[in-house]
Each structure stands twice: as structure tokens, then as C-alpha cells.
Amino acid sequence: MSLGLVSPSGRLAAVGFLAALGMLAVSWDAQARARKQSQGQAQPRAIQAQTSRPNYADIVVDDKTGQVLHEVNADEPRHPASLAKVMTLYLLFEQVEAGKLKLDTPLDVSAHAARQRPVKLGLKPNQTIKVEDAIKALVTKSANDAAAVVAEAIGGTEEEFAKLMTLKARMLGMTNTTYINASGLPADDQITTARDQAILGRTIQHRFPFYYRYFSTPAFQYRGAEIRNHNNLLGNVKGVDGIKTGYTDASGYNLTSSVRRDEKHIVAVVMGGSSNGARDARMRQLIEAYISQASTERTAPVIVEPPVQAAVPVEEAAPAAETPPSPVAAGAGADEAAKKTNAGQGQEPKPAAQATKAAVTSKPQPRRPARPASSKDKSATLNGADATSTAARPSAQPH
């Protein structure tokens, strides 16, 4: 029907109806675009939630008294990353001290070890690496292939070696720690706590005051290349003499530090840092805030554990090549009590015949916590390193 045959009021009604339809269409189109935009933004929000930084934790312990000077989330489960290598080295030091391995013993490189993800030395199957080079590679570069070599040399397989690591953790009072591999590479059930890592950080230097000095190695030469230590605090913070860094996506940036200053000794642990720089800055803060509160007098016994077997004569177990560097601040031992175990400069200390139990924590933790609820290890970024840069988080290789 033509609009010309419709009354003026009818024509106005028709025009109004058409205008309303147009406005409704525009509204529907705007709503559709808004829905599409909202749907497009939903996925990034989900991804952000999945990759949020792990929860932070730290602890500072006065080594001479065993007193906890400061702690945050110290008993919450965290992934150790390369802090696991401290236990790998603990078991290796046992073997060297017992004479089962020597520092110049060649260790076979398997296909399994060569396949480990970076960071690594690039070892090839059927090659060998000397024990001392493996120690330095773990301490400085945090080499995952070298960790697997050590594990297979002692445990037969890395899986069996991880069981030995967990058993040793229980013996040392690390009740909330479970190891799955020798390197700290991502594994859902590989968990620890800041408190447990402080126990290990104290015990390894009490138990092996001679071999602990490897942790102060700033760099070493391997096959013509200089490999520098990832621990940026060595040589830059007064009194720092070790011990280990670590990183995976699930763990964040971890660091255990030992500091000897003015006859005081503290061990501090930071876990879940957002970057190398942030982690190191927080550790510096903890050191400066709490070293003054530490005691100069030992009231807690030195943590000592019996050797695996009677130690071989010193001349057979002493380093075959270069000796470990001396710590930055104090002598070779953990303190004066630990120094008494040393036969002399350049000689292997004689371990005590019986274990002395020490109160290494102020809060015993009888239960094993559930594994962290942070981002899944299986989705961890595997293409970067615990780099020496203090910039924001790099595309870091877990180690």
C-alpha cells in the first residue's frame, strides 16, 4: 500500500515504526560486537590466571643458635627447582668422603643424561666427566646433564637416586621434602619448603666443611670455556660464601644463601621470586636486616651425621687436582666447632664417629603438605635460564 493513500497520522506512525526497527538493529549489532569482544578477552584472563607467579616464601636462621630470626610461609609447599642439586651434591660428597669415588674419577655419560633439558654442559653419550668437574658444573652452571650423570653413578638410575635423596631428607629432618629427580627439573610431586631448604643449607656445610667450599666457586674452566656462577651475591655481598640458585616456571626464582660476618653466621632462603633481580634484592634485604641479630656464640650443636662408611686415608681422598676455594668471610669450617674436624688446610676433615642431633627448626613439621597449587610444572617454560641478568624475568631455562 502506498504511503500517499495513508493519512498523515498513519504516515507518521509508519515512519516511527521503521525508525524503531533501525534503532533496534543498531542495538543488536552493538550488543553482538560487545559479546564477541568479551569472549575474545575471556581467554587471556584465563591464561593470566594459569601463569600467575608462585607464592613467595622465605626464612632466616641463625646457624649458631638454630633460632629462626624471620619467616614468611616457611612451611608452605614449594617446588625446589635447582635447590634440589644441593641434595645431589650432599650424596656425592658422601661418596667421595667414603672413598667410593675420587675427585678425578671419570663418570660415564648415558643417553638419558645427555637428553636432559638446558641448562646443561652439552655432554654426549659415551663421554665421561670427572667428579670434580661435575661438582663445579652443578655449583656454577647448575648443569642438568651433569646432575643426571651423578645420579646414575650413585643410584644406578636417576629414579633410584631420587629415592636416596628423599630418604636422606627424612634423616636430616626435612619432613616436607620429596625428590623426583636429581636436577630439580619440573615434576609435580617434587616439593619442599623454605624451612627444609634452610636445614639442608646448614647441614651440608656442617657435615662437609671441606667440600662445601666448592659453593663459593665464582667460575671454572671446562673444555676451554669459562663457566660462571649464577649466584650474583658471591663477591658482591660481604660474607656470602654460597650456596645455590634455582628456577622453573612453577617455582619462581629461588636462592639459598649462607653469610658469615663478624663471627656471626646465618642461612637464608628465598623462594618464589618474580625475577633474578627481585630475588637477589630481597635476599640482600634479609641479610642486612637480620645478620646483626645473629649470635656470635654457638649454643646449638654442630649438625653432624656419621659417614657412609669409615673414611679412607686422607691422602687417598684428598683432591687430585685443584682444591676448592676458601669461603669469602670465615675459615673452611662452619665455625670453630666445625674447624676441629679439619686435619689441616687442603686436607679432608675427619667426620665424627657418632651423629649429634640438633634442633634445626623452631617448628617441627610432622605432616607432608600437598603439592603447590601454582601453575602446573608440565606447562612450565623450558626455554631460558637462571641468568645472571638482574632484569625482569627472562625466557629462562629451568635448572
Q: Using one digit for the tens of pLDDT, what is the confidence trace for 174-186?
A: 999 999 999 999 9
The predicted structure's pLDDT at residue 54 = 62
Of the residues 102, 141, 142, 275, only one is catalytic, namely 142
Residue 130, beta-bridge partner list: 106
What span, in angstroms and rounded, lies between the C-alpha atoms of 64 and 41? 54
Q: Is residue 396 part of a domain?
A: no
Q: Is residue 38 part of a domain?
A: no
Q: Is residue 317 part of a domain?
A: yes
Q: Is residue 249 part of a domain?
A: yes
Ramachandran quadrant class, 136 (left: phi over 0; alpha: psi -120 to 50; beta: rest): alpha
**Alpha-carbon distance values, 277 to 233, 281, 314, 386, 387 (Å):** 11, 6, 42, 11, 10
Q: Is 133 helix (H, G, I), strand (E, B) or coil?
A: helix
Q: Is residue 339 part of a domain?
A: no
What span, in angstroms and rounded, lies between the C-alpha atoms of 166 and 157? 15
Of the residues 64, 82, 168, 374, only one is catalytic, namely 82
Of the residues 85, 102, 168, 244, only one is catalytic, namely 85
Q: Is residue 37 part of a domain?
A: no
Q: Which domain holds residue 228?
A: 52-332
The predicted structure's pLDDT at residue 397 = 72
Q: What is the pLDDT of residues 325-378, one digit of tens each?
A: 554 433 334 454 444 444 333 344 333 333 333 333 434 444 444 455 443 333
Q: Is 301 helix (H, G, I), strand (E, B) or coil?
A: coil
Residue 242's nearest CA partner among 328, 348, 333 is 328
Cell numbers 649454643: residue: 299
Q: Is 178 helix (H, G, I), strand (E, B) or coil?
A: strand
CATH number at residue 189: 3.40.710.10
Q: Is 82 a catalytic residue?
A: yes
Q: Is residue 382 part of a domain?
A: no
The predicted structure's pLDDT at residue 32 = 53
Q: Is 30 helix (H, G, I), strand (E, B) or coil?
A: helix
Weakly modelled stretches of the chain, pLDDT under 70: 1-54, 306-396, 399
| Total domains, the chain | 1
Q: Is 379 a catalytic residue?
A: no
**Alpha-carbon distance values, 104 to 90, 152, 279, 320 (Å):** 18, 17, 35, 6
What span, in angstroms and rounded, lies between the C-alpha atoms of 386 and 391? 11
Looking at the chain, the number of H-run helices and the number of E-run strands are: 10, 9
Q: Is residue 186 part of a domain?
A: yes
Given a contact cutoff of 8 angstroms between Cβ atoms, the answer to whether 92 and 98 are in contact is no
What span, in angstroms and rounded, lies between the C-alpha atoms of 291 and 295? 9
